[in-house]
Copies of this chain bind each other. A is one copy, B any other.
Amino acid sequence: MNIDAALAELTIVLGQRLSLSKSDLDLHGRSETHFPLTPPDGVAYPETTKEVSQIVRICSAHRVPVIGWGTGSSLEGQAQAFSGGIIVDFSRMNKVLRIGQADMDCTVGPGVTREALNRELRATGLFFPVDPGANASIGGMTSTRASGTTAVRYGTMRDNVLGLEVVLADGTVIHTGTRARKSSAGYDLTALFVGAEGTLGLITEITLRLQGQPEAVTAAVCAFDDIDSAVRCVIDTIQLGIPMARIEFVDAATAAAFNSYAGSQLPECPHLMVEFHSSDTGVREQAESFGEIVADHGGKSFKWASKLEDRNALWTMRHNAHYACMASRPGCRSMVTDICVPISRLADAVNETRADLEAENVTGPILGHVGDGNFHAVLLFDENDADEVARVKRVAHRMVERALEMGGTVTGEHGIGVGKLDYMPAEHGAAWALMGRLKAAFDPKNIMNPGKLVPPRND
């Protein structure tokens, strides 16, 4: 790689919008989790697809790595420049470009955040449902195949991206998908770029499916005696086809963390947090059916939140779970695991993880999007306590092994980046090599976010 030549040419294209300041490089070298600081060689702030194409052409000519950056909220090191190169920060490509009211779709720049998008949509009667908690960028969410609390009802980014504009590794600009709701016209390139973590190209526009704002919304939280009862309640709810908009699990430790962080007064036992979206009658009927299932499993302390501010308080508390857990042990660091299993194995997966945490004496509140079979443990540790670090790593490793044994996946929504690269052979077998061939066909010089997701190359 000839970084100096690349930086010189990039400056001609971008002027002040190529940043080399130490503070900016450091800001784009950090992650939300436990990866070390890895400042890139430069940070580019393009404003148009054409500029992104020029950046990639220059980097290709000089074999310089190119890594996309949304808001930096990814959890497995996806946006870090571990082998140097240029971070392409999409924060200036943050416009909602088109809202199709009649077609219930929109096209946005990659730098638009999900909260900004929903603010723009508010007056239209539409909303974008995917909600990973963090106020991530749509480009980043697309690249990580993000999901979150509402996937049980509205699907993940896989289900909500209709089409893309992508700059390929040689600077070519392509468009995938159409504005039609479905197509059988060739390979599903849209699905291929969703979740590719920027290793196949840089996404410069995203066309999204939108939903009508529901006529009625209500939410509730209810308590259970044990994990089993809560999880079995989820399974019954899914099987009965009640169209939950959200169904979230938190364990006793998470409830305790909420109480001290958010001032809630939850009993310190497992809880489900749910939300219904429908007509007035529909919400009532769904809530009644759910209430019966809860009662069957000994659920209690049912608290309804029909008012917007109560619901906001509930979901803000849920979204801040990571911070609440961190605050429960001041000065600690965290490893946030993310596995997803078939729903029939969910109770086993949570119980065995709980038992393992106790056996290893690790603090790890468990919570998750249980309607999808997806859950996290927030494993807390003192980074100076080598023994505790080792125990945390063992627990995390066994969670992943357990997910695979149960027919599940090593990551439901956080992605691979570098953090879970070592598990790819176990999950995919021979298909991982195929992913490598696919990457090589799209990016022969290996400049698009190299070192992530696919088998390492030796060139």
Contacts and interface: CB of A to CB of B under 8 A. Distances in A.
Contacts of A156: 182
A211 B241 CA distance: 8
A145 interface: yes
Given A184-B411, A214-B241, A434-B442, A103 B179 contact: no
Contacts of A168: 434
A212 B241 contact: yes
Contacts of A416: 184-186
Contact of A441 (B144, B180, B403, B440): B440
A453 B186 contact: yes
Contacts of A238: 104
Given A103-B342, A281-B281, A441-B438, A180 B409 contact: yes
Interface residues of A, number: 87
Given A180-B342, A407-B178, A441-B441, A196 B185 contact: no
Contacts of A438: 187, 438, 441-442
Question: Can you tell how many copies of this chain the complex includes?
Answer: 2
A420 interface: yes
A192 B195 contact: no
A187 B415 CA distance: 10
Interface in A143-159: 144-147, 151, 156, 158-159
B413 A184 contact: yes
A173 interface: yes
Nearest to A78: B184
A412 interface: yes
A355 interface: no
Interface string A421-459: 001100111111011011011100000000001100000
Contacts of A176: 428, 431
A453 B187 CA distance: 8
A183 B411 contact: yes
A408 interface: yes
Nearest to A339: B180
A239 interface: yes
A380 B127 CA distance: 44
Nearest to A215: B241
A15 interface: no
Contact of A372 (B181, B285, B430, B442): B181
30 contacts: A100-B342, A100-B344, A102-B239, A102-B344, A104-B238, A145-B188, A151-B182, A156-B182, A158-B191, A168-B434, A174-B431, A175-B429, A175-B431, A178-B340, A179-B407, A180-B340, A180-B372, A182-B374, A183-B409, A184-B415, A186-B195, A186-B416, A186-B424, A186-B427, A186-B428, A187-B200, A187-B438, A187-B453, A188-B195, A441-B441
Given A146-B184, A185-B428, A187-B195, 17 more contacts: A145-B188, A156-B182, A178-B427, A181-B372, A181-B373, A182-B412, A183-B409, A183-B411, A185-B409, A185-B410, A185-B415, A185-B416, A191-B191, A191-B192, A212-B239, A282-B285, A440-B441
